[in-house]
């Protein structure tokens, strides 16, 4: 793991409540000039959801059916083997680095208007004070537990479907990393994987830790080929050992509500930080009213979490050096007022950490 010491730099998770991509990009650049992310805008409609942003090649190939706003795999359809063969031909070419094939996995303009507006802005205005550029994709577990086959079974438990999902997401991440890296700044691709909370629950007893780690690492492997960094975002109190045992470089969590849950995994956290890992503290609330907080109250909340780590022997200075500041989760379904407040607070907390004003 290469050394990455962001020292409290701020960024967002992904989604915003805007519908104008130019407005959304300008908002991100203004608030997070050092580490901007491209904005996802779910309020623009169904086409901005994960199916079209990250799985368009599966739709184009006919493997993933779209009917009346329902999305499913139909392995029983006539021509399935041929469609699968065609998909793997493109997939293998893209995995080998073929530029034309890889471009087919890039988030399309009709579904990821924020990504393309982000690229256009960088092309016209340059990188300015940008240190890093962030992209994001949906996680394989989250996708696999949302999409089903023709008989209503989760696609995650169908080996063939799970493989095409993982490969498609990995190539989407790699294509984003390649495009973002062309601006001469390191790219960061974060997997949004809230469904990892399903592990260990009664309805998913056949899901194994090894399956989750294998799939996430498969995505990381292709992202790393573009010299990009990679992370995972989860927004509940999960078994953090799963993610800490992957090859990720950035652990992103809702620290406002669930930061203390890391306390059960301090040996793994210590090892993660020791090998260069970064914790992105989602210390600014998104489910709770952000106007009830200010930078001081959030800094104090973060101090409590760091004290917990210091009690285990973790060097607070190391933790701060290996930290980022983010909202607890995306803001796509929140009001613009809340979103502005959330991003403002993230910026203020980040500035105080970077300036070492709170020691």
pTM exceeds 0.75 for this model:
yes
DSSP notation for 8-19: TEE---SB-S-S
Residues 6+ apart with CB under 8 A from 337: none
Residue pointed to by tokens 């990995």: 170
Residues 186 and 32: their CA atoms lie apart, in Å, by: 15
Q: pLDDT digits over 35-90, tens only?
A: 999 999 999 998 899 899 999 999 999 999 998 889 999 999 999 999 999 999 99
Token pair in block for residue 271: 């090892």
Measure the CA dihedral 17/18/23/24, to 10°.
40
Contact 172, 54 (CB under 8 A): yes
CA 32 to chain centroid:
16
Closest C-alpha to 191, from 225, 217, 210? 217
The pLDDT of residue 357: 54
Overall average pLDDT of the 212-219 stretch: 97
Strand ranges for 95-198 from DSSP E: 133-138, 148-149, 187-192
CA 247-98-4 angle, to 5 degrees, is 30
The pLDDT of residue 181: 97
Q: pLDDT digits over 283-334, tens only?
A: 999 999 999 999 999 999 999 998 888 888 888 888 899 999 999 999 999 9
Q: pLDDT digits over 234-257, tens only?
A: 999 999 999 999 999 999 999 999
Q: What confidence tier does 351 reach under pLDDT thresholds 50, 70, 90?
A: very high
Domain 9-354 belongs in CATH node 3.30.70? no
């Amino acid at each position: 793991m290469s050394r990455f010491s962001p020292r409290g730099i701020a960024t967002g998770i992904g989604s915003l409540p805007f519908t104008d991509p130019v407005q959304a990009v300008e908002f991100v650049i203004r608030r997070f000039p050092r580490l901007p992310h491209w904005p996802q805008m779910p309020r623009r409609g169904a086409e901005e959801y994960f199916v079209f942003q990250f799985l368009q090649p599966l739709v184009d190939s006919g493997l993933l059916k779209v009917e009346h706003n329902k999305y499913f795999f139909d392995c029983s359809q006539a021509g399935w083997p041929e469609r699968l063969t065609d998909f793997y031909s493109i997939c293998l070419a893209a995995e080998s680095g073929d530029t034309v094939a890889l471009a087919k996995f890039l988030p399309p303009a009709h579904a990821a208007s924020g990504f393309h507006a982000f690229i256009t802005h960088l092309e016209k205005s340059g990188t300015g004070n940008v240190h890093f550029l962030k992209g994001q994709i949906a996680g394989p577990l989250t996708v696999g537990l949302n999409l089903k086959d023709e008989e209503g079974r989760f696609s995650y438990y169908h080996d063939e479907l799970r493989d095409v999902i993982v490969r498609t997401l990995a190539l989407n991440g790699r294509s984003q990393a390649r495009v973002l890296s062309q601006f001469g700044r390191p790219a960061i691709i974060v997997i949004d994987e809230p469904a990892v909370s399903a592990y260990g629950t009664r309805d998913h007893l056949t899901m194994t830790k090894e399956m989750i780690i294998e799939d996430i690492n498969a995505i990381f492997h292709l992202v790393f080929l573009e010299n990009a960094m990679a992370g995972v975002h989860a927004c509940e109190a999960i078994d953090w050992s799963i993610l800490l045992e992957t090859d990720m470089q950035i652990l992103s969590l809702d620290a406002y509500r669930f930061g203390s849950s890391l306390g059960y995994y301090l040996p793994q956290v210590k090892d993660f930080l020791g090998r260069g890992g970064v914790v992105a503290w989602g210390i600014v609330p998104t489910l709770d009213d952000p106007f009830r907080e200010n930078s001081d109250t959030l800094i104090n909340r973060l101090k409590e979490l760091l004290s917990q780590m210091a009690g285990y022997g973790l060097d607070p200075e190391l933790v701060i050096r290996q930290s980022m500041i983010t909202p607890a989760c995306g803001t796509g379904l929140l009001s613009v007022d809340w979103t502005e407040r959330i991003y403002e607070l993230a910026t203020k907390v980040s500035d105080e950490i970077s300036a070492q004003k709170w020691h």
